[in-house]
A and B are shown apart, each in its own frame.
Chain A
């Protein structure tokens, strides 16, 4: 039973380029989350998605960042016109069917973005 799969694991982009990070949730999981970990900081929530729906994007920067989780295929976190401050580890997580009494959320190994 594969875990949360992210790719690429490491990505180097020049300032102004686009970065696309992909995430396949664990089998049977329909909820996907993206978190960002800046150097020397804790994990911060970015966005929560279900298939074809963005449920909560309150943690996403207002510009240049977007996320999707299409009916078929992985979830994508897209960062346009990257800047040095976007350099971070981006973690995807998934959980099975939502319950209001607590959800076990599993993390992928992260995608490390370096902007040069």
Chain B
């Protein structure tokens, strides 16, 4: 059975801190790994990663994939209160099916 594990499950930081969220996976027929941000509504797409070692960056967020060690990290620098959300990691396998991790609940305090 495909499995995606995220850590930590929850994290509380102060504004300005840098955070690293982890995602490890065990799946058959890996296609891609996706990160989403969920704030009590639609998961909002952040990144799709398919190749090892290539960092994707968007503003203060960045992510990288290691297909040998089967994990990905999502970094957020200079955190703001608006970054508070659940961050979801999902792995796409054959058939375009996404297997999600349980998410990391990030709380950024002012």
Contact = CB atoms under 8 A, between A and B. Distances in A.
Contact of B50 (A31, A44, A45, A102): A102
Interface string B92-103: 100111111111
Given A4-B42, A107-B45, 5 more contacts: A3-B42, A42-B100, A98-B96, A100-B31, A102-B92
Interface of B: 31-32, 34, 36, 41-45, 48, 50, 88, 90, 92, 95-103
Interface in A82-116: 91, 93, 95, 98, 100-110
A104 B48 contact: yes
Contacts of A31: 96
Contacts of B32: 101-103
Contact of A43 (B41, B43, B45): B43
Contact of A45 (B41, B43, B97): B97
B50 A101 contact: yes
Contact of B42 (A33, A45, A95, A108): A108
Contacts of A107: 36, 42-45
A103 B31 CA distance: 8
24 contacts: A3-B42, A31-B96, A33-B96, A33-B97, A35-B98, A41-B102, A44-B100, A45-B97, A45-B98, A55-B95, A56-B95, A58-B97, A59-B97, A100-B31, A101-B32, A102-B31, A102-B50, A102-B92, A103-B31, A103-B96, A105-B92, A105-B96, A106-B45, A108-B42
Given A102-B31, A107-B36, A43 B48 contact: no
Nearest to A40: B102
Interface in A19-76: 31, 33, 35, 41-45, 48, 55-56, 58-59
Contacts of B45: 104-107
A48 B95 contact: yes
